[in-house]
Amino acid sequence: MNKISVIIKREYVTRVRKKSFIIMTILAPVLMAAIIIVPTLVMMNQSGEFKKIAVIEDNSDLFKGVIKNTKDAEFIYLDNTKVEDLKKTFEKDGYYGILYISPELINTPNAVYLIAKKQPAIGLLQFIENSLKKEIERQKLLAYKIENLDDIMKNVETNVSVQTKKLDESGVEKGTSTGIAMALAYLLGFLMYMLVFIFGAQVMRGVIEEKTSRVVEVIISSVKPIQLMMGKIIGIALVGLTQFMIWIVLTVGIVGVLKTTILPKSGGSEISQSMPQNLMSGNQQVAGTSQTAEMSPQVAEFTKMFDNAMNQPWGLIIICFIFYFVTGYLLYASVFAAIGSAVDNETETQQFMLPVTIPIILGLMVAMGTMQNPESPLAFWCSMIPLTAPIVMMARIPFGVPYWQIAVSMIIMLVSFGSFVWMAAKVYRTGILMYGKKTSWKEMWKWLRYSG
Amino acid sequence: MVLFEAKNVTKQYGNQLALDNVSLSVPEQCIYGLLGPNGAGKTTLIRIINQITGPDSGELFLNGKKLMPSDVQLIGYLPEERGLYKKMKVGEQALYFAQLKGLSKAEAMKRLKYWFKKLDIIDWWGKKVEELSKGMQQKVQFVTTVLHEPKLLIFDEPFTGFDPLNTKIVKNEILFLRERGATIIFSTHNMESVEELCDNITLIDKAKTILEGSVHEIRSKWAANEYDLVFDRDVNIEGNGHYSILKQQKENNKSVFRLKTTSDINTNDILQTVMKSGNIISFNPALPSMNEIFIRVIEARN
Residues in Cβ contact with A120 at an 8 Å cutoff, skipping those fewer than 6 apart:
A97, A114
Lowest-pLDDT choice from A22-36, A43-57, A415-429, B285-299: A43-57
pLDDT digits (tens, 9 = 90+) for B149-167: 999 999 998 888 888 999 9
pLDDT digits (tens, 9 = 90+) for A24-35: 888 887 777 776
DSSP code for B3: E
Q: How far is A225 from chain B (nearest CA, A)?
A: 8
CB contact under 8 A, B96 and A14: no
Statement: residue B179 has pLDDT above 80: yes
What pLDDT is stored for residue B127 in this prediction? 92
What pLDDT is stored for residue A12 in this prediction? 94
Q: CA dihedral in degrees (A426, A427, A433, A436; nearest 10)?
A: 160
Total residues found in chain A within this entry:
452
pLDDT higher at A430 or A260? A430
What pLDDT is stored for residue A164 in this prediction? 61
Statement: residue B113 has pLDDT above 70: yes
Work out the pLDDT band at A98, boundaries 50, 70, 90: confident
Tell me the CATH number for domain B224-301. Answer: 3.30.70
**CA–CA dist A340, A432 (Å, integer):** 8
pLDDT > 90 in chain A, percent:
10
**CA–CA dist A93, A426 (Å, integer):** 83
Find, among A340, A382, A376, the residue nearest to A363 by Cα: A382
- Contact, B80 vs A433, CB < 8 A? no
Burial of B36 (0-12, 13-18, 19+ CB in 10 A): buried
Residue ranges of chain B assigned to CATH 3.30.70: 224-301
- Contact, A236 vs A201, CB < 8 A? no
What is the SS3 assignment for A48-97?
Answer: HCCEEEEEEECCCCCCCCCCCCCCCEEEEEECCCCHHHHHHHCCCCCCCE
**CA–CA dist B157, B154 (Å, integer):** 10
- Contact, A37 vs A60, CB < 8 A? no
Highest mean pLDDT: which of A284-298, B168-182, B264-278? B168-182
**pTM (predicted TM-score):** 0.71
Phi-psi region of A54 (alpha: psi -120 to 50; beta: other; left: phi over 0): beta
Alpha helices in A293-349 (DSSP H): 297-310, 314-342
Q: B32: which strand partners? A: B185, B200
Is any Cβ of chain B less than 8 angstroms from the Cβ of A216? yes
Lowest-pLDDT choice from A23-32, A244-253, A261-270: A261-270
Statement: residue A277 has pLDDT above 70: no
pLDDT > 70 in chain B, percent:
100
Statement: residue A177 has pLDDT above 80: no
CATH label, A50-156, candidates 3.40.190.10, 3.40.50.300, 3.90.1300.10, 3.30.465.10? 3.40.190.10
- Contact, A192 vs A325, CB < 8 A? yes
pLDDT digits (tens, 9 = 90+) for B40-70: 889 889 989 988 888 889 999 999 899 988 8
Q: Which residues of A touch B87 (CB under 8 A)?
A: 14
Statement: residue B141 has pLDDT above 60: yes
pLDDT higher at A305 or A144? A144
What pLDDT is stored for residue A174 in this prediction? 55
For an interface test with A, the pick among B52, B80, B100, B130 (most A C-beta atoms closer than 10 Å) comes out as: B100
- Contact, A370 vs A379, CB < 8 A? yes
What pLDDT is stored for residue A235 in this prediction? 94
CB contact under 8 A, B97 and A216: no
Indicate the domain borders of chain A: 2-37+177-265+309-448, 50-156
- Contact, B162 vs B188, CB < 8 A? no
pLDDT higher at A71 or A210? A210
What pLDDT is stored for residue A161 in this prediction? 64
CB contact under 8 A, B83 and A224: no
pLDDT digits (tens, 9 = 90+) for A4-56: 999 999 999 999 998 888 888 888 877 777 766 666 666 655 555 677 888 88
Residues in Cβ contact with A76 at an 8 Å cutoff, skipping those fewer than 6 apart:
A52, A53, A54, A55, A95
Q: Which residues of B touch A213 (CB under 8 A)?
A: 83-86
Q: A97: which strand partners? A: A53, A116
Residues in Cβ contact with A384 at an 8 Å cutoff, skipping those fewer than 6 apart:
A405, A408, A409, A412
Statement: residue A93 has pLDDT above 50: yes
pLDDT > 70 in chain A, percent:
78
pLDDT digits (tens, 9 = 90+) for A220-244: 888 888 899 999 999 999 998 898 8
Statement: residue A153 has pLDDT above 80: no
What's at A154, amino acid-wise?
A: K
- Contact, A371 vs A379, CB < 8 A? no
Measured in Å, how far apart are chain B's first and last C-alpha atoms? 36
CATH topology classification for B2-219: Rossmann fold (3.40.50)
pLDDT > 90 in chain B, percent:
41
Q: What is the rounded average pLDDT of the residues A386-406?
A: 86
What pLDDT is stored for residue A297 in this prediction? 58
Q: B11: which strand partners? A: B19
State the average pLDDT for chain A.
Answer: 78
**CA–CA dist A122, A110 (Å, integer):** 16
- Contact, A428 vs A229, CB < 8 A? yes
Q: What is the rounded average pLDDT of the residues A327-349?
A: 88
Question: Of A2, A220, A450, which has the smallest distance from its Cβ to B52's Cβ?
Answer: A220
Q: How far is B175 from chain A (nearest CA, A)?
A: 22
Find, among A174, A204, A181, A100, the residue nearest to A397 by Cα: A181
CB contact under 8 A, A218 and B50: no
Work out the pLDDT band at B107, boundaries 50, 70, 90: very high
Is any Cβ of chain A less than 8 angstroms from the Cβ of B281? no
**CA–CA dist B24, A191 (Å, integer):** 56
Work out the pLDDT band at A410, boundaries 50, 70, 90: very high
Q: What is the rounded average pLDDT of the residues A325-351?
A: 87
- Contact, B111 vs B75, CB < 8 A? no
Burial of A101 (0-12, 13-18, 19+ CB in 10 A): buried
Residue ranges of chain B assigned to CATH 3.40.50.300: 2-219
Statement: residue B19 has pLDDT above 80: yes
Q: How far is CA B281 from the centre of its chain?
A: 33
